[in-house]
Amino acid sequence: MSENLLLADEVAHALANEHAVVALESSIVAQGLPAPENLEVGQAMQTAVRQQGAIPAMTAVLDGRLRVGLSLDDMARLAASPEGRKCGARDLGSALALGLPGATTVSATVAIAAAAGIRVFGTGGIGGVHRTTPGAPAKTDISADLLAMSRAPVAVVSSGAKSLLDLPTTLEALEALCVPVLGYGCDQFPAFYTADSGLEVSYRFDDLAVLAEALRAHWSLPGSGGVLVCNPPPRETAMGREEVEALVRDAASAANAAGISGGALTPFILSHMRDASSGQTLRVNAALAVANAGLAGRLAVELEG
């Protein structure tokens, strides 16, 4: 194991004794949600994992180490740090060398989880291929999440990808990278705020034991990487497809008019959608993140059974 990894005592004990562990990202706490919801949701995700009999292992870069397992104080410190960076997998080495605190995204968490020997990761949604903005120069903007998932044998439990992305092309990229897209209790690829994307998953599973067996079989093949396990947003908070699409269009138009692009684009669009929906997108985000953590806990326990 890399000397840069620092596992919390309960995480190290669980892994040593083949007990279920679930990785969690910390960018949802540091950048993904506003205060005070960020820490509330982060803590609720950890609780959801524990309620299923697994140990939560939120990841981050702190004090020059890759941390695996954070306390509430650690999360608060990370969220409040003025030097805190949003770290993808490619940023981890530099953040470590420079001693910078860093909140981990999906790609970074997948890499850290694989290094620590953790097979299940619960998150809100993955990144993907961005849409081309009408009237703007054509360019390819692809999240590092996709490549990271293809490289590491980790099951990523998420509510698909956000509707602001080019979902058909995202699914094509996952297919090209040999990442299975499996639905748990769903036939459609979730579009984060809505369960209705009109796009099919590769296979549907309604029995968690059978899903766990599919993961074991996948990982038994040489060179196999990650798997995307899709869990729709909770019905009581999920939004309709047309409603979400209208919010995305309005937010994208506003971003284009304001000249927003690059790394600032997604935060702008999400903030615009949150305001335009009177906070409904924030409520869906929080609910699905906790639900996915709970399902990840169940899956991790099943895999160790």
What residue spans define the domains of the chain?
5-304
Fold of 5-304: Indigoidine synthase fold (3.40.1790)
Q: Is 197 helix (H, G, I), strand (E, B) or coil?
A: coil
What per-residue confidence (pLDDT) applies to 83? 85
What per-residue confidence (pLDDT) applies to 133? 62
What per-residue confidence (pLDDT) applies to 135? 56
Give, in order, the Cα–Cα distances in Å from 53 to each of 22, 118, 149, 295.
10, 15, 25, 11
What per-residue confidence (pLDDT) applies to 256? 86
Which of 3, 10, 25, 200 does the annotation list as catalytic?
A: 25
pLDDT tens per residue across span 68-105 = 999 999 999 999 988 889 999 999 999 999 999 999 99
162 tagged catalytic: yes
pLDDT tens per residue across span 208-223 = 999 999 999 999 999 9
**Residue 213: count of CB within 10 angstroms of its CB:** 14
pTM of the entire predicted model = 0.95
Beta pairing partners, 121: 23, 156
Residue corresponding to tokens 């299940």: 120
Lowest mean pLDDT among 125-139, 145-159, 191-205, 272-286: 125-139
Confidence grade of residue 1 (pLDDT, cut at 50, 70, 90): very low
Which of 177, 178, 196 lies closest to 187, judged by CA? Answer: 196
pLDDT of 240 > 50? The answer is yes
Give percent of the chain above pLDDT 90. 87
Give percent of the chain above pLDDT 70. 97
Which of 3, 162, 236, 242 does the annotation list as catalytic?
A: 162
Confidence grade of residue 139 (pLDDT, cut at 50, 70, 90): low
d(CA 113, CA 96): 17
Buried/exposed code over 28-65 (b: 16+ C-beta within 10 A; e: otherwise): bbbbbbeeebbbebbbbbbebbeebebbbbbbbbbeeb
Lowest mean pLDDT among 4-18, 193-207, 248-262: 248-262
